[in-house]
């Protein structure tokens, strides 16, 4: 091993910078998708709030872009130090991908700044506005291509071609998990972007002094959450597709993920997703109360929450409390105490879990239908929402960011003790799978760091500027 990292070790070091880079990258790739849609909606409907939403979010993206680049560079530094052998291997194996990645980063950066700085000049005419939207679409195309290029590298590390020595470049790019990753990460980025926009709106709502600002940020938080939840309900399916491809690629991954060392990670994933759905539905409950006459739907919604909680319990209850296949019951504890009683063993099966997820998704959909129904008969009083709703919009991104960090760890750990699964061994001192406890602490630190950085972006971009105004 060429180098280690002082105090925290090479793995934690690369984990920190890679995950922070990925968080910011997910936001700067995901947010522009609905920024452009929002700009287009503003043009089509004439509602100025869409334009403001698009522009303010883009301002956050422009500042966050620098942080993405900074953590990208730090990521590269750590790769070049402790992880030099695998970095060299990946560069050699996928050299054209890296060249294209560099070129697309340059193009995307040019396009991003062009999009941001031409906002006012191109806003003067309808043709100019369409040109601006066109630049935004180009920005998204380039961003999606960048995402796909990096997914090729990530996918290659997880599921390289079986006969790697004679594999063509295309076979390495179009590996078994490439398309599932593209789908999963694209939807994940939209979800993430939506929730970060909601976080921004909550932050701005709570710091706003004008009522019209609060009305706007209330609306913006609602839209951000709607986008986040809309994409979130597709995520379990995208996750199943990715898992299925991994299982088909190498069936021992199924055991490793669902019954062995990563099983606890998936219990925690279930808990996090349930919390996301509960948060999203609770927000809708609070939103309903700012609609005139919305309170009449409260009994229906309470029934929905009952189903959500029951589904959540079924999803999260572990089939057993053994952390891996080789674990034994601790001294003084019987094995039976750590396993679901036979009568309830069905709750540990995927069938029960899948049914629970389906029920949760359907109930969330019903919540939105109820909201639509309430909106059709009563006026929404934007800005007159319980401030607790803003804290829910802070809670949801906290859970979403944590979940994304944890899922990143899961994806990485499915390689077991390989850098490139089955081909390049991890010969660093950190070849082993980290415990859930260790991962939960590292992900918590990363999540908090990301929050501090994002709060800094909001503050420097909006609060500080407001004082000057």
Segment 188 to 227, residues that bind another protein, using CB under 8 A: 202-203, 206-207, 209, 211-212, 214-216, 219, 223, 226
Sign (positive/negative) of CA torsion 83, 86, 88, 90? Answer: negative
Q: What is the distance between the alpha carbons of residues 219 and 50, in angstroms, rounded to a whole number?
A: 10
Out of 324, 348, 366, 410, which residue is the one contacting another protein (CB under 8 A)? Answer: 324
Q: Is 402 in the site for another protein (CB under 8 A)?
A: yes
- Judged by CB under 8 A, the stretch of 22-30, 147-155, 177-185, 277-285 that binds another protein is 277-285
For residues 104-123, which are near another protein according to CB under 8 A?
none
Nearest to residue 60, comparing CAs of 184, 194, 186? 194
Nearest to residue 364, comparing CAs of 240, 280, 273, 289? 280
For residues 46-65, which are near another protein according to CB under 8 A?
47, 49
Other Cβ atoms less than 10 A from the Cβ of 73: the count is 11
The binding track of 347-386 with respect to another protein, each residue x by CB under 8 A or -, is ----------------------------xx-xxxxxxxxx
Sign (positive/negative) of CA torsion 39, 22, 62, 56? Answer: positive
Out of 119, 156, 195, 256, which residue is the one contacting another protein (CB under 8 A)? Answer: 256
Task: State the nearest-atom distance from the C-beta of 278 to another protein, in Å.
Answer: 7
Task: State the nearest-atom distance from the C-beta of 384 to another protein, in Å.
Answer: 5
- Judged by CB under 8 A, the stretch of 140-148, 179-187, 244-252, 355-363 that binds another protein is 244-252
SS (H, E, C) 44-87: HHCCHHHHHHHHHHHHHHHHHHHHHHHHHHHHHHHHHCCCHHHH
Q: What is the distance between the alpha carbons of residues 153 and 300, in angstroms, rounded to a whole number?
A: 47
Residue number with CB closer to another protein (236 or 422): 422
Q: Report the run of H or E that residue 418 belongs to, with start and end.
A: strand 418-420
DSSP character string of 104-143: HHHHHHHHHHHHHHTTTGGGGSHHHHHHHHHHHHHHHHHH
For residues 60-99, which are near another protein according to CB under 8 A?
none
Q: Is 327 in the site for another protein (CB under 8 A)?
A: yes
Out of 113, 346, 431, 456, which residue is the one contacting another protein (CB under 8 A)? Answer: 431
Q: What is the distance between the alpha carbons of residues 4 and 414, in angstroms, rounded to a whole number?
A: 23
Out of 44, 92, 124, 343, which residue is the one contacting another protein (CB under 8 A)? Answer: 343
Counting every residue written for the chain, the total comes to 469
Residue number with CB closer to another protein (95 or 456): 456
Q: Is 127 in the site for another protein (CB under 8 A)?
A: no
Q: What is the distance between the alpha carbons of residues 72 and 25, in angstroms, rounded to a whole number?
A: 9
Out of 197, 260, 311, 364, which residue is the one contacting another protein (CB under 8 A)? Answer: 260
Out of 21, 59, 129, 290, which residue is the one contacting another protein (CB under 8 A)? Answer: 290
Residue number with CB closer to another protein (71 or 402): 402
Q: Is 161 in the site for another protein (CB under 8 A)?
A: no
Residue number with CB closer to another protein (102 or 387): 387
Task: State the nearest-atom distance from the C-beta of 90 to another protein, in Å.
Answer: 19
Q: Is 20 in the site for another protein (CB under 8 A)?
A: no
- How many positions of this chain bind another protein (CB under 8 A)? 110
Cβ within 8 Å of residue 226, ≥6 positions away: 194
């Amino acid at each position: 091993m060429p180098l280690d990292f002082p105090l925290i070790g090479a793995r934690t070091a690369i984990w920190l910078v890679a995950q922070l880079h990925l968080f910011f990258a997910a936001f700067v790739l995901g947010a522009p998708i609905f920024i452009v849609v929002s700009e287009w909606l503003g043009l089509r409907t004439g509602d100025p709030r869409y334009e403001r939403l698009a522009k303010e979010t883009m301002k956050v993206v422009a500042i966050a872009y620098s942080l993405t680049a900074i953590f990208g560079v730090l990521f590269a530094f750590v790769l070049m130090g402790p992880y030099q052998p695998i970095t060299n291997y990946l560069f050699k194996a996928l050299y054209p991908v890296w060249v294209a990645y560099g070129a697309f980063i340059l193009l995307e950066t040019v396009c991003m700044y062009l999009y941001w700085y031409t906002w006012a000049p191109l806003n003067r005419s309808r043709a100019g506005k369409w040109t601006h939207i066109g630049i935004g679409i180009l920005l998204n195309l380039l961003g999606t291509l960048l995402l796909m290029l990096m997914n090729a590298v990530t996918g290659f590390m997880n599921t390289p071609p079986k006969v790697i020595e004679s594999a063509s470049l295309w076979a390495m790019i179009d590996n078994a998990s490439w398309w599932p990753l593209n789908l999963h990460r694209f939807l994940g980025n939209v979800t993430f972007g939506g929730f970060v926009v909601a976080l921004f709106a909550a932050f701005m709502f709570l710091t706003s002094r004008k009522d019209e600002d609060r009305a706007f940020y209330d609306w913006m938080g609602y839209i951000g959450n709607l986008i986040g939840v809309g994409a979130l309900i597709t995520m379990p399916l995208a996750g199943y597709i990715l898992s299925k491809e991994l299982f088909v690629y190498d069936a021992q991954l199924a055991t490793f993920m669902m019954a062995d060392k990563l099983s606890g990670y998936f219990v925690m994933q279930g808990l996090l997703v349930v919390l996301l759905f509960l948060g999203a539905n609770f927000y809708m409950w609070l939103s309903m109360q700012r609609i005139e006459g919305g309170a009449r739907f409260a009994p229906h919604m309470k029934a929905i929450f009952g189903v959500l909680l029951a589904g959540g319990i079924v999803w999260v209850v572990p089939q057993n409390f053994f952390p891996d296949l080789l674990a034994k019951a601790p001294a003084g504890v019987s094995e039976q105490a750590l396993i679901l009683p036979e009568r309830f063993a069905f709750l540990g099966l995927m069938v029960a879990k899948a049914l629970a997820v389906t029920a949760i998704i359907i109930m969330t959909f019903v919540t939105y239908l109820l909201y639509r129904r309430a909106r059709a008969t009563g006026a929404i009083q934007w800005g007159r929402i319980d401030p607790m709703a803003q804290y829910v919009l802070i809670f949801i991104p906290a859970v979403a960011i944590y979940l994304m960090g944890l899922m990143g760890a899961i994806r990485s750990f499915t390689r077991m003790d390989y850098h490139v699964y089955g081909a390049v061994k991890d010969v660093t001192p950190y070849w082993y799978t980290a415990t859930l406890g260790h991962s939960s602490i590292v992900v918590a630190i990363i999540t908090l760091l990301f929050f501090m950085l994002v709060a800094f972006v909001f503050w420097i971009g909006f609060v500080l500027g407001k004082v000057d105004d």
